[in-house]
Amino acid sequence: MKLENRTFIVSGGSSGLGLATVQMLVQAQAYVSILDRSPPPDNIVGPQVKFYQIDITIVAEIEKAVEETVAWTKQTGAILRGVVNSAGVAAAAKIINGENEPHALDLWDFVLAVNLTGTFNLTRIALKHMVQNEREEGVDGERGIIILVSSSAAYEGQPGQVAYSATKGALRSMALPLARDLARHSIRVTAIAPNMFSSSMTDKLPEKARRSLEGDLVYPRRFGQPVEFAQTVKWILECAYVNGETIRLSAASRMPAKL
C-alpha cells in the first residue's frame, strides 16, 4: 500500500510507539487521525494531523472520532486506509498478593477494556467504512489494513502480568481469524509483538527490574526504540504479502520467568 495521500487512524498516537508511528506516516505524506486521552506534542498537529481526545473504553467516543475522521478524509481526498491500534495500558498484579488477597477484579476489567475491547471496538467501527473503500490500484486491489499491537508478554508473560498477558495474547490470537474474515474485502490484518521498548511504560520500571531485563537481552543489548517500531509498521503497510501474522520485535530476546 502506498502511504502518500492516504489516511490512517493511530490510537495511543500521542506518545511512545504510537507517536513514532504518527511521525513516520507524516513524513511519508500521509494523513493521520490520533485518538488518545492526552494531546500530542504541539509540533505534531498540523494540516496532515487531527487529534481526537477520547477514552478508548467508551464506544460512543470512538464512533464520533471515526465518523469525523471519515468526514475529514472526504475533504482531503485521502481515504481511510488503515488503523494502528497502539493504545494500551500495563498493570502489575499477581493473582494472589503478599497479603493473600486475590487479583482485583476492577483492575482486570480495566486492562481488558483498554487493551482488548478498545482495540476490538476501534477495529470494527473503522472497518464499517474501510470495506466500502475503492480498491488500490495494482494486482491485489487492497482496500486497507488493520495493525494490532500485541507484546512479548503474549508468549512469555512474567509474574504480575496475568491481565496484561491475557490481553496481548488475545490480540495475537485475533490476527489470523480477522485476516481470514476480511480476505473477501481485501483488507489485511497483522499484529506486532514488541519486547522491551523505551516508552512511558518501561520508564516507570523499578531500577532492579530494568537491570534484570537488560541482562537478558541478546543483541542488540538494549531496549528497542520507538522509531524501530514505526519502521516495522511502515514495512507491514507497504508489503502486501504480510497478512495474518504476528511479527516479533525481540532482538532474539525472551522475557525471563523471574525479575
| Tens of pLDDT, residues 19-33 | 999 999 999 999 999
Would you say residue 166 has pLDDT above 90? yes
Q: Are 8 and 81 in contact (CB under 8 A)?
A: yes
Categorize the per-residue pLDDT at 211 as very low, low, confident or very high, splitting at 50, 70 and 90: confident
Instruction: Tell me the mean pLDDT in the region 242-259.
Output: 88
What percent of the chain lies above the pLDDT cut of 70?
97
| Tens of pLDDT, residues 212-236 | 777 778 898 889 999 999 999 999 9
Categorize the per-residue pLDDT at 259 as very low, low, confident or very high, splitting at 50, 70 and 90: low
The helix, strand and coil proportions of the chain, stated in percent and rounded to the nearest 5, come to: 40, 20, 40
- The three grid cell numbers given for residue 83, joined into one nine-digit string: 488503523
Which residue is listed with cell 493511530? 10
**Domains recognised in the chain with CATH numbers:** 7-249 (3.40.50.720)
Helix (H) or strand (E) holding 196: none
| Tens of pLDDT, residues 51-90 | 999 999 999 999 999 999 999 998 989 999 999 999 999 9
> pLDDT at position 45, please?
83
> pLDDT at position 48, please?
95
CA dihedral 97, 101, 105, 107 (to 10 degrees): -40
Would you say residue 130 has pLDDT above 70? yes
Instruction: Tell me the mean pLDDT in the region 151-161.
Output: 90
> pLDDT at position 201, please?
67
Catalytic center residues: 164
> pLDDT at position 255, please?
77
Name which of 184, 201, 179, 198 is nearest 246 in CA terms: 179
